[in-house]
Every structure is written in structure tokens, then in C-alpha cells.
């Protein structure tokens, strides 16, 4: 008997020993784990896309969040920090409605990024 056939036989025997409710509970648990894994994949894909932003795109994003005047290098570095660092802390108050504006800007770059930052 091949290993694959043995595995199938054991799976069938296992399922025969379970009630409908137990099998349904296992299926529901697997479904929850699958949805969680899909959500994590979407999050990681968004992060990968964020990592591909160009210098010009990062500067455009900065303009969505802050009103202060800085060099382009500072704007690029600050946006990288805000987008890539989950522990980012605002040193100056961001614009009113910055999250929606930044989401729209990122969407215009083809990125769906859930922005959740404490101010």
C-alpha cells in the first residue's frame, strides 16, 4: 500500500469516528483560519507594494499628511518611517483628515493600505 493510500484510509477512518457536529466544528475552525491567512496575505501584499513606492510618490504622500515645509529627503524619510514603522509617533500634528487623504493617494498608486496610527 502506498503512503498516499494509507493517508487516505486513515483520514476516512478518522472522519468515520467523528459526529456531524464535530466535523462541522472542524470545518468552521478551518474556515476561520483560512480567512485569517487570506487577510494576512492581503496585508503583506500591501506592505510589499508600499515598499515599492518611488521617492516622488513618498513626497506626494507626505503632502497628504503634513503641512510643514521640509526638504524632499526629509519628506521621503518621514513617510517611510510613518508607513513602514508600526511604532511611528507623530512629532508634529498631522493635517485634519490625513488618513482619508493618504488612503486616496495610495489607492491612486494602486495600493490598498489600512492606515491605523495613534496620534
Which triple of cell numbers denotes residue 55?
Answer: 521617492
3-state secondary structure 18-69: CCHHHHHHHHHHHHHHHHHHHHHHHHHHHHHHHHCCCHHHHHHHHHHHCCCC
Give tens-digit pLDDT for 42-87.
777 776 777 788 999 999 999 999 998 899 999 999 999 998 887 8
Q: What is the mean pLDDT of the chain?
A: 86
32 confidence band (pLDDT: 50, 70, 90): very high
User: How much is the pLDDT for 104?
Assistant: 92
> What residue segments make up the domains of the chain, in order of their start?
1-52, 54-119
C-alpha 68/C-alpha 94 separation (Å) is: 9
Amino acid at each position: 500500500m502506498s503512503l498516499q493510500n494509507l493517508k487516505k484510509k486513515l483520514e476516512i477512518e478518522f472522519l468515520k469516528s467523528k459526529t456531524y457536529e464535530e466535523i462541522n466544528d472542524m470545518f468552521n475552525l478551518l474556515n476561520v483560519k483560512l480567512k485569517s491567512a487570506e487577510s494576512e496575505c492581503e496585508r503583506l501584499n500591501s506592505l510589499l507594494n508600499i515598499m515599492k513606492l518611488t521617492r516622488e510618490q513618498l513626497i506626494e504622500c507626505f503632502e497628504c499628511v503634513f503641512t510643514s515645509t521640509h526638504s524632499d529627503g526629509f519628506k521621503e524619510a518621514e513617510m517611510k518611517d510613518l508607513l513602514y514603522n508600526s511604532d511611528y509617533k507623530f512629532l508634529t500634528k498631522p493635517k485634519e483628515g490625513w488618513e482619508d487623504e493618504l488612503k486616496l493617494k495610495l489607492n491612486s498608486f494602486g495600493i490598498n493600505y489600512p492606515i491605523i496610527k495613534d496620534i
